[in-house]
Every structure is written in structure tokens, then in C-alpha cells.
Structure 1
Amino acid sequence: MGSSLLKGGIPLEYTSIAVELIVGYFALLILTKVLGKTQITQISAFDFISALILGELVGNSLYDDKISVFQVLTAILIWGALIFVTEFFTQKSRKFRHLMEGTPDIVINKGIINYNVLKKNHLDLNQLQHLLRAKDIFSVKECEYALLESNGTLSVIKKPLYDQVQRQDLSLPLKKATLPLSLIMDGEILYDNLKIAGEDDQWLQAEINRHGFTSSEDVLFAEWTENEPLFVQGYE
């Protein structure tokens, strides 16, 4: 069966798709302006889901002949109104804001990794290290406090010893840059990193014992840095 044609010879379904795209584009543009910049710059889990649904409302309607432009526009307006009302109440009520947006969690407190907070947020040590490196912290022992924000980003405060100071301002000699290596994570020895560090099992076991642990299984995290003591932390 052939497609229905308009007077200009353009298939009717193509015209319908074009109209729905144009209407959806301007509706989403206006909705984004009304909701504000937080939908993009400080996106939370709820904001992420709402953005997906808005996209699906427009995308699915393009290939469904039974859905008209007005139905698409109505769906967008209703969903946008729900989001707007939600944002309104999150600004007015702290309890509602906590329920919808969550609150930051302290994953590193006074230089100590909070293992229970990591588990609560389904965050492993590899992910924590990745977030720290994004903040120019390549060693856990450089961090005094780390807060996991509700949008998944990490806010950090460095230990005073590791605050960024221009060495040329203090006329200090340049120090060789070293890359910290994780030797133990979640009780497991990372033998590849141990080999890179130029150490062996006996040395690592001696260091673990020196910190009061009997086995690597008792250690949550251990980090090696050249010419510095081994950083070791247990689960508690």
C-alpha cells in the first residue's frame, strides 16, 4: 500500500514526523528554560530519569501514528508540571529535599576511608580512586575529607601538608614526582603493583604486621609511595 500524499507530493507520515519534532523541540526548549540550569549542571538521579522520560515522550511519538502532536505536547506539559512542582517543594521543605535529592555522605573522614559509607553508596575502592584523581589527588593519604555529593561527584579537602603551593614561590628544590600504587584492596594483594614497587610478599607481610594486622584479608586498603611509609587501613 502506498503512503498518503499531500498536495506537494510529500508523504503524510513524513510531514507528521516533522511537525512532532518541531513541536517537541520547542516544548523541551521552553521546559528546560523554566526548570532552570540544575537539570544539567547538578543532575541528580531523579533529574536523570526525568530527562530520559522527556526524551522518550517525544521519541516514541515519532513512530506511533495513533499519537497526535497535541497528545505529545500534553504529555510534555504534564510531566514538566510534575517536575516543576517537585522542584518547588524541594526548595520549600528540607525533609522533602532530603527525600528527593539525598544528602552528601562523608566517604573519607580525617584521612580515614569510611567503608560502611562506601558499601551504602555501592562505591568500590577503584571508583573512589578514580573520583579522587579527578580532583588531582593521586594518593588517598593526601585527602583529609571527601564528600560524595547527591549527584555522584566528589568534593574534597586536602590535608594541610599537601595543599598546593608554588614551589618557586618558596624557593624549594624540585622533588621527583612519584605515582602511588595500591598494594591491597578489599583484602586482596595486587601483585602486579607489588612487582612494580619492587617489593615482595615478605616485605608486605612485615609492613602489615607493623601496622597491627595479621593478614592482608584484614586490610581494606594499602598504598605504596616511593620513599614514604606504607599507608595501611583496616575495615574499621
Structure 2
Amino acid sequence: MNDVVQIALRAFFALVVLFAITRFSGKKQLAQLTFFEYIVGITIGDITAVIATDIENNLVHGYTSLLVFAAIPFFVDYLSLKSKFVRQLFEGKGTVLVKNGKILEDNLKKEHINTDELLAQLRLKNMFKVADVEFAILETNGQLSVMPKKDAQPVTVKDLQLNLPAEVEPETVIMDGQVLLDPLRASGRTAQWLDTELKKTGVKLENVFLGQVDDKGALYLDLYNDQLQVPQPSENQLLLATLKKCQADFEMFALETQNKEAKRLYSKAADKLQHTIEQVNPYLR
């Protein structure tokens, strides 16, 4: 077999196996890995490279060593769940670097961290004064956890004893100039409402890159042309758009209801409102 083809096939299958191992290992980010997991990951990457490029290497031996190194973290994780000693042995434990506004120099030396690195990490946590830090702990994954002193903590809604409604995730109702009907229904709005809101701003649907509706019914629009600003509708435009929406709602109610009298009243109201819109339209544009 041609060496190039053989290397390509070996690389492909090695990548498939490596992808499978990565999927089974969970969704930890690089910054969340312990030192042990980081070392095992580097070794697995080296073994995969040898399997893919060394055509004289025995594939069985290569994959055996790869699977052994891949199984070690699972075995260590299992033991860590059962034993605190094993957990501290492989993962270590957090180190307090700042306590009650005082830097612990001995712990800095132990973790091989200088003062500039500590201050930089504190700044990333929005802590610019060491005196405002109650605790700063270096976690086992290398991240710095910081707890400000009570008088340096920002005021929260709980501190103010306010009863506010829970935040609701905004729904993306327009993407790439296309209306997404399922999110629109989930937001409790209709296509007619969306069309009315677009008319208020004078923006065409095909010019919208992204549109989102928040829990208060406000529509955010991001246009393809970043140089353009979404125009704010005038009072006349808002009034005209509202009248058109009401007229469309009457027509929809007339189509949906099964009561003949209600259907007649809705249709009559829609016709009257349409006549009114035609009369005031020249003055509201």
C-alpha cells in the first residue's frame, strides 16, 4: 500500500478514536483540567501522533497504550469519588493566597506565584485593592477564587429586599433575514405582531441579520449593514402601525370564531377600522 494512503488512513482512524475518547471524558475545558489530567492529555496526543505517522509501529500496540492512558483518568475519577486521600493526591487542594486583606507570602512561594501575577489575577476578578479581599484561594485547576469583604461587595437585589420577577431568556425570532416561527410562538407573539414591529422601525425583513424579543416584548434588531442604525419610529408611525395591527386582529378574530354574530361584529369592526386607516393614512405618513 502506498505510504501516503496508509498514513492518511491511520491518521483518520486515530482521529476517530481520539474523538471518541474526548467525548467520553466529559466537557471539561482546558482551564478546568487538573495537572494529572493535563499530563495524561498530552501523552494521549503524542501516542495518537505516533500511531498516525509511524507506519513501522504496530497498530495493536499503539491502540493498546492509547486505551490504557485513556482509561487511567476514569479509574482515578472513580477512586477520587470514594477516597478523599486519592482526590487530594491527584487533584491537590486549594491554597489560600490572601486572607483578610493580607497576602500570605509563604503560600505564594509554595505555588511559585509572584506578586505581579497575583495582582493581575485579582484585577481579572475586578479586585484592584488587596485590602478589599476577604479570601483569595488558588484552586486545583489554577483558577483564583476571590471573595470580597462585606463592605466591598456590590449591592444585590436581595440586599435591597426587592421582589423582582425572574429573568426570561430572550427568543431569537429572526435569523439571516428569515422568521423563526417556533421561537416566535414561544415568545407569545404572532407573525402579524412581528410585521407590525418591523413596520414601526421601517426596516425590511430581508435586511435583518438577527432579531430577538425579550420578556417585556421589546424587539431588538441587528442589521446586516453595521453602519445603519435602527430608526426610532415617530408617534405618527406608531399610531398607524397600531391601527393596522388592530384591524388585522379583528380580521383574525372573525376567521377564528365559530359564533356567527361575533363573526359579523368582528368583520364589521375590521371594515370600519380599515376605512378609518385609509382616511388618516395621508396625515400619519
> What's the TM-score, normalizing by structure 1?
0.62
- Whichever residue aligns with residue 83 of structure 2, its letter is S
- Whichever residue aligns with residue 14 of structure 2, its letter is G
Is 1:160 the equivalent of 2:150?
yes
Is 1:114 the equivalent of 2:104?
yes
- Whichever residue aligns with residue 146 of structure 1, its letter is A
2:47 equivalent among 49, 53, 57: 57
Unaligned runs of 5+ in 2: 161-285
Aligned equivalent of 2:120 = 130
1:108 aligned counterpart, secondary structure: strand
1:46 equivalent among 36, 42, 45: 36
- Whichever residue aligns with residue 21 of structure 2, its letter is L
- Whichever residue aligns with residue 59 of structure 2, its letter is V
Is 1:15 the equivalent of 2:2?
no
Paired with 2:40 and 2:65, the residues of 1 have a C-alpha distance of 13
2:134 aligned counterpart, secondary structure: strand
1:38 aligned counterpart, secondary structure: coil
Aligned equivalent of 1:230 = none
1:166-195 Cα offsets, whole Å, 9 max, x none, are: 8xxx9xxxxxxxxxxxxxxxxxxxxxxxxx
Unaligned runs of 5+ in 1: 1-5, 7-11, 171-236
1:98 equivalent among 74, 79, 88: 88
Q: Segments of 4+ in structure 1 off by > 4 A?
A: none
CA pair 71-15 structure 1, distance change in 2 beyond 3 A: farther
Contact 1:146/1:156, CA 8 A, preserved across alignment: yes
Q: How does 1:1-236 map to 2 (within 5 A)?
A: 6=1, 12-38=2-28, 40=30, 42-165=32-155
Contact 2:98/2:104, CA 8 A, preserved across alignment: yes
Moved more, 104-113 or 69-78: 69-78
Paired with 1:78 and 1:57, the residues of 2 have a C-alpha distance of 11
CA pair 39-162 structure 1, distance change in 2 beyond 3 A: closer
Larger-gyration structure (1/2):
2
> What's the TM-score, normalizing by structure 2?
0.52
Say how many residue pairs are matched.
158
Contact 1:27/1:76, CA 8 A, preserved across alignment: no
**Superposed CA RMSD:** 2.1
CA pair 61-85 structure 1, distance change in 2 beyond 3 A: same
Q: Greater relative contact order: 1 or 2 (C-alpha under 8 angstroms, separation 6 or more)?
A: 1
